[in-house]
Structure 1
Amino acid sequence: MKKQIISVLASFITALSVTGTNALSAGYGQGTAVDEHNCPTGAVEFNSAYSDKETYSLTGDKSRIIITFDQGYENGYTSKILDTLKEKNVSAIFFLTGDYAKKEKALVRRMIDEGHVLGNHGMTHAKIPALSPDELRKEVMSLHQYVLDEYGYEMQYFRYPCGEYSEETIEQLRSLGYKTLFWSFAYVDWKTDSQPSPDEGFKKLTESAHGGEILLLHSVSATNAEILGDVIDSLRAKGFKI
């Protein structure tokens, strides 16, 4: 399954666009309007300009949905999420911060052992466009080297903390050998004291499904841990590969 994810990512044909000047930073969001394929038009429009810069918010495989998780800290649900992914034979991408990689070694090793892909979410979850080139390199590559040394795993994919990016940082990340993944659907699942109900979460995740989707979830969500298996079953019933 890990090889399938990497193969799909390698075949991406769409990427992100940036509004404003090179000096400006922006915050990514897929928007709420959708096209005739149920794909958020914000993601589609973002995908028009940067395929040559290896920056993506959709996959090139319209039959597949890729599930990704941002791992800022552990809230007790990742093990259950991994259990579900194993049961459903699904490989996901887990974007790690430095704090997570250092504190949750057993879970990270389990991710690797069970065929998931590790991504780089920054050593300190810093606001990337605010960093100097040297600071950006340190933020990204110090975590890259730590994961390589500690786990023998070389990361290839980066996700911006909070989706904040700039044209300069897109180029800088590419020069560091990284491909950048944004997303084509996310919802407010990270507020641990204000979780969507399981019914609400299930409805959002299944009714928003679209071909080529990169789904962003947070593993701190009790709702996500509870509904993930049912969501995967529903998406497969709609004809999507997961």
Structure 2
Amino acid sequence: MDKIQILRKISQIFFFIYFVFLTSFCLCFFGIIEKFILKGSVGQLIVKLIIIVVLTLLLGRVFCGWMCPLGFLFELFYKLRVKIFKIKKLPKVDEKIHNKLIYLRYVVLILSLILTYYLSTYAFCQVCPIGFLTNLYGTVISFIILIIFLIISFFIPMAFCRYFCPLGAFLSIFSIKPLFQLKTNNKCVKCKLCEFKCPMQIKITENLDQKECVRCFECKSACKKGGLSFSYKN
């Protein structure tokens, strides 16, 4: 494991412990948006939301890959399968299906906001898988959803993050063209080792979609030629 992966694991564990066990506060800033709709003003929470948005504009979806407790759990499960079965190439969803499913999370985002506004309830928080762990808005439904997606993640890496997470949809809007971008360079030989390890099923050597990338840097770790760089966009 290289240095950047060690740092990322430390970050993921820290945020998971801090927000799930120490503060019982859901790290999903989508909840802040719901609170804003219901209460109008949430003070310090809005400041935190702004910080995350600015961070995303600068670096892309680092929140998803470095801080999100759900992402951390789902990553553990797909890597468990990799370790048990010694998988060298991550399983992929059929490309045509995948390209349609990635827009499903935007539907979840819009529906959650509409339901929150009209029903005056924390629509997504009531079913959010992490809600059960934080004891914030956890329900039996959220527990069932958590178990279902943990199982799915064992077979389809980061399935919830790819196709269902409204926070991922929200942050992807701000990471279409971040200031710092992950991109291939002239050392890339198109061997696609990076794509074999990408949990988000991004065609890195053809079109590195910044808004889908969660900055896990698994691709950089897999590359033997130094063909990927994370730098200020030209």
TM-score by length of 2: 0.30
Greater share of residues in helix: 2
Asked which structure has the greater CA Rg, the reply is 2
